[in-house]
Structure 1
């Protein structure tokens, strides 16, 4: 599982490696590093595009190739550090097409502003994002054929281990999210995780006994019921555990891993089924963060994750709307729409984590999912954070929001309101909670907020609010808008959200 490894050099003249190009990233309207200023000025005299768009110039620099990758302005109210990722990615694509094997990344003119505090790191991750090729392509053609840049130099005072640990996690997340539904069917998803965490401090447990799953994860198994006729599609729960040597807090994750979402009996029509192999992006993101944990081995932060890996198939055994299913928590759930399947999987996972939380110091719960089209409509390309009362009181959502701003993985906060709980309230005494309405989330008011209310009730977390003796902070993380580039769920490259936010918030000091 290769990706461009990093050599950090303090300044350009200290670069000793076999670099065959320089990628110069920054605002070209500002002062340039003296090593490159004359070459850029000379090129601008005959080509007005220089400094306005990414270009390859012939210059007396390492490798004889200078790739100018402008960020554009950085001082406006709405500018942010992603400009460095975008520019570095554009430069990296030119480098790869030009046959460059080992570029040196030079970031200049970083504003003295907190939002740009990790500009060099974000530029490296943007470069890696641009160069990433799908797992299917790498397995079919060979990594060395499709990913030709194997090492990158970065000028700055950076921790190379940290850069590569985050990128290792992002690569796992992209692979698991983006790979087609047969190559990443539940058993093979689990196998990938076992390989990714082999010989690390992360313990992997795969729960794939059908009777055990039916007993302990009844909502998850309702979603997977129609898949049982095909053995290679059988569901599983992948449990990942990292125990810190001197744990002071514990992060507990539930990850939605729907390897393909047909919509079930409420079948997706009108071409909306394409791209639904990416509905496992939440579980992928959690596994990716855990990979970064495995690389960094934090001293004081333990992490526990349960990934529900299921195929929402259609067939005679498919679950249907109006069924009432008792969750792991004991809560009776009335099914409103079988295409709202991800919250059912998450509810059982969260319930298990809730029960286990008392065994760990300072537990914090998260659900991560490509859950609703509404989040993508309401938030665009940003992750939606929906905290409960204890998480809000402790400012956990602020920690994630701030990390996202600095590390180029931004999010926006939504609030859980009384209307959300009223929306999922039972209509009769036959059940305790309604999973959803029967319309699409994009046309439903508060379509990405009310699922958090459902999860709170169905997982039994409504008994752990600020009004309880044992408040449990919980944040629902909806990456439906941020999980792939450009919002293109069929063809867009997975973004690995929210790996960087969590890594920046909890692992980097």
Structure 2
């Protein structure tokens, strides 16, 4: 989609106009027709008046969410027509929510059609009409287009089938991203994992025909304000290993790479936006499969930091990959200010907070609150989940340092986060946040401005958090 900022004095050739409605009573045109069609000024309510070439879309309040959903709803309606050009006249409400307007349009038009034999090739152009272009509006437009493109990059990667997206492919994708934005990229294979005693990650991938890859992207501008590490779970497919998933639970497991895809896309956006931070993106790209060489329940694995892990369930594999990736990050990168990890880690998080919400965990209450605030401000749902000493006891092992699953079915998202805490060094305990994106990363139905499938969860939250750091 092409989005343009156009002054009223310029020639405009748009075929249809999109009109936002918060209160039907204030309409001067088409009110009677809309009432006959039972149009309501509500979120996701939309009517096309083909003869007058107008799309009316409802919204309930002046929030990011409502404006973004309204824009996406209108664009989706436009996609059902033969119109190729639309315009929106910017009023006071839309100008105050210009970021939501742009991102709602760019995210709402997204479709994943790579595997369709007949593809919809229609390109839509959106003109946003203003009295006068300002540097502020142009800046928001450019920034929001980059952010939305990064989200859509993550969506594409996550939606790609596992036969076409395995660890080697993920590594090549990282190299392409690095080349595009001129940042450093290092790729390490299984011999590196063995040499550096990263046997938790190595064990998860050893039964796959695809070699596991440790990916490390580095963006280093001049005079960075902070040093930030982003770590992503890149399980390109998760069968559950020898603790095999039921057949219907395996469907959608291509989405287990969502955390890693979010990190790769966020690194691209950070470089494109030229944010003044040194940022490292680390992804453990692994495929968890079955075979004669598969790791087993009852195995004792040793992570990079020397801690031993009792394996009681091979389907709790993402935390094993992250454990070594977190240790690698802290060993290789010194004087870190923030460490964030992203993972579709637990079904328990989905049970606890629903499909649309990220669970945020860590030891620093202020940092967690700030992350939740940044997520909500950026348009993503998030909530804080608290560690406690009693749940910590449930991952205690009698024969190793820690167990990879708890001895209780309750609080599984939190116990998984507390497992990861074992691999955060003391000096970094208050600098670390764990994002469990198992719910919003992949949903098998359209919601808001998200299409069926991947949502790119985590990208906007992270960019929002970094930008909020600039305002502190």
TM-score by length of 1: 0.83
Matched position secondary structure for 2:232: strand
Q: Report the CA distance between 1:277 and its aligned residue.
A: 0.6
Task: Indicate if the aligned counterparts of 1:131 and 1:147 stay in contact, CA closer than 8 A.
Answer: no
Query: Equivalent of 2:202, from 207, 221, 227?
Result: 221
Unaligned runs of 5+ in 1: 32-36, 112-116, 466-470
Q: 1:107 to 1:197 in 2, by over 3 A?
A: farther
Residues 26-78 of structure 1, C-alpha deviation per residue, up to 9 Å, x if partnerless? 423474xxxxx43332423543326452111146xxxx62111112x328xxx
Query: Equivalent of 1:55, from 29, 47, 55?
Result: 47
Between the aligned partners of 1:374 and 1:238, the Cα distance in structure 2 is 28
Task: Indicate if the aligned counterparts of 1:135 and 1:175 stay in contact, CA closer than 8 A.
Answer: no
Matched position secondary structure for 1:507: helix
Q: 1:133 to 1:19 in 2, by over 3 A?
A: same
Q: Which residues of 2 match residues 25-36 of structure 1 at below 5 A?
A: 25-29=20-24, 31=26
Task: Indicate if the aligned counterparts of 1:337 and 1:438 stay in contact, CA closer than 8 A.
Answer: no
Q: Report the CA distance between 1:110 and its aligned residue.
A: 3.4
Correspondence 1:266 to 2:235: no
Q: Report the CA distance between 1:354 and its aligned residue.
A: 1.6
Between the aligned partners of 2:381 and 2:40, the Cα distance in structure 1 is 30
Q: Report the CA distance between 1:313 and its aligned residue.
A: 0.5
- Which residue does the alignment assign to 2:358? 383
Between the aligned partners of 2:96 and 2:311, the Cα distance in structure 1 is 45
- Which residue does the alignment assign to 1:403? 374
CA root-mean-square deviation: 2.6
Q: Which ranges of 4 or more aligned residues in structure 1 deviate by more than 6 Å? A: none
Q: 1:502 to 1:437 in 2, by over 3 A?
A: same
Q: 1:95 to 1:247 in 2, by over 3 A?
A: same
Q: Which residues of 2 match residues 253-292 of structure 1 at below 5 A?
A: 253-292=230-269
Q: Which residues of 2 match residues 471-486 of structure 1 at below 5 A?
A: 472-485=430-443
- Which residue does the alignment assign to 2:160? 179
Matched position secondary structure for 1:377: helix
- Which residue does the alignment assign to 1:7? 4
- Which residue does the alignment assign to 1:468? none
Between the aligned partners of 1:435 and 1:45, the Cα distance in structure 2 is 59
TM-score by length of 2: 0.89
Q: Report the CA distance between 1:337 and its aligned residue.
A: 0.6
Q: Report the CA distance between 1:324 and its aligned residue.
A: 0.4
Query: Equivalent of 1:211, from 168, 186, 191?
Result: 191
- Which residue does the alignment assign to 2:387? 416
Between the aligned partners of 1:178 and 1:410, the Cα distance in structure 2 is 21
Between the aligned partners of 2:96 and 2:418, the Cα distance in structure 1 is 35
Matched position secondary structure for 1:448: helix
- Which residue does the alignment assign to 1:497? 457
Between the aligned partners of 2:246 and 2:325, the Cα distance in structure 1 is 29
Correspondence 1:129 to 2:98: no
Q: Report the CA distance between 1:128 and its aligned residue.
A: 2.4
Between the aligned partners of 1:207 and 1:319, the Cα distance in structure 2 is 21
Q: 1:240 to 1:18 in 2, by over 3 A?
A: farther
Unaligned runs of 5+ in 2: 131-135
